[in-house]
Amino acid sequence: MNIENYINQIVRDAKSASRRIATASTALKNTALDYIAEGINSSADFILTENKKDVLAAKQAGLSEAMIDRLSLTDKRIKAMADGVRQIIHLADPVGEIIHGHTRPNGLQIKKIRTPIGVIVIIYESRPNVTADAAALCLKAGNAVILRGGKEAIHSNIALYKILTAALEKAGLDKNGIQLVEITEREAIDYLLTSDKYVDVVIPRGGEALIRTVVEKSTIPVIKHYKGVCHTYVDEFADLKIAEDVCFNAKVQRPATCNAMETMLVHENIAPVFLPKIAKKFIDSGVQLLGCKKTCTLLDTIKQATDEDYYNEYLDMVLNIKVVDSIDDAISHITKYGSGHSEAIITANYSNALQFTGEVDAAAVYVNASTRFTDGYEFGMGAEIGISTDKLHARGPMGLAELTSYKFVVFGSGQLRE
């Protein structure tokens, strides 16, 4: 197979299909989404069979338990995938929304109207559910999408792709509105990333190495879904029961996600009381702890963290702990090591809460709540394409509105500029 010709055909077909998708009615798009959800549920056994091939290969390749968890599908996860698609049906269609409108003194009527972006390439790893979520979101927002999943999920993704395209055809839409790159050669990504004549934006979701590669090679605008080095700062004025529950949830509930806590910062005034109790809870749950010198003095059974450890997105049951002497010290640490994803403070001091939310630069900043809530569904946006750590053009959970652009539509009655 000539990979360049293969990719050229895909991007051309996507560009052609995007024009039909962009003008499709809400009812037609929702019909297609209903067929997708129906197809996922009715094909659960087929999806599971194909997914088992990927999971077996992943185990044989020695992938981590966290990666295998992200890859694995169950009946519950497949149902959740279909339910997620159906939730998108009930979300308001952003296409055609008038963001702003006004009339100029000369009588020109100017409207700023939300429009589809066009053709979106999404490059991602591991999670097969991204295939359904991304396709459904892009479709509802009026975009054509080209999906390029990781080779570790190729069988799962192809199975889902067959369901997606069948649903488009059944609804009477161009099946090329959703496409999957079915070859796993890395060269395919290189050609995709230079198809700027046909593709409008690239969204990478995955590890640091993948995102850096995409940014370096792409001639197309990139919205980065960068790593989540998330912190929780336990302030000296924290309610320690709330702190214990929130920190445990942020690390243990699902450690392989980008919004899981990777470093816990603890004020020195409460560290002697708080750390021994929370550390035991973490260790009993299988979390490996690394700490600064002060932490290791209080918890003499754990290893000392290196400077590099504080930059790590573990996506696993590993946690850094650092004792800080002030809220300013905590914010300075987050500023240096954070990735701009999600940060939290546990405090009963309102002034400290305001200082933290005002000075910490991240897509989501929490007071007395777990960073695990950074999610489109939890924010009431429905399913999401991911969490953008960029500031342009979208930041934080990317839902339907973030998958659109806008244009100015101007009505006149013969006005001329003098």
Q: 377 phi and psi, to 5 degrees?
A: -65, -45
**Among 29, 136, 147, CA closest to 85:** 136
CA–centroid distance for 273 within its chain: 36
CB atoms closer than 10 angstroms to residue 92: 11
What is the residue type of 33?
L
Predicted pLDDT at 214: 95
Q: Is 130 exposed, middle or buried (0-12, 13-18, 19+ CB in 10 A)?
A: buried
Instruction: Output the pTM of the full model.
Output: 0.87
Checking 104-112 for CB contacts under 8 A at 24+ apart, the result is: 106/415, 107/412, 107/413, 107/415, 108/410, 108/411, 108/412, 108/415, 109/410, 109/411, 109/412, 110/408, 110/409, 110/410, 111/408, 111/409, 111/410, 111/411, 112/406, 112/407, 112/408
Predicted pLDDT at 3: 97
Encoded tokens for 374: 């950074």
- End-to-end CA gap in the chain: 59
Predicted pLDDT at 208: 81
Q: 18 phi and psi, to 5 degrees?
A: -60, -30
358/214 Cα distance (integer angstroms): 32
Predicted pLDDT at 368: 98
Peptide bond into 393 cis (omega under 30): yes
Which contiguous run of DSSP H or E holds residue 288? strand 288-291
Residues of the chain with pLDDT under 70: none
316/324 Cα distance (integer angstroms): 24
214/277 Cα distance (integer angstroms): 43
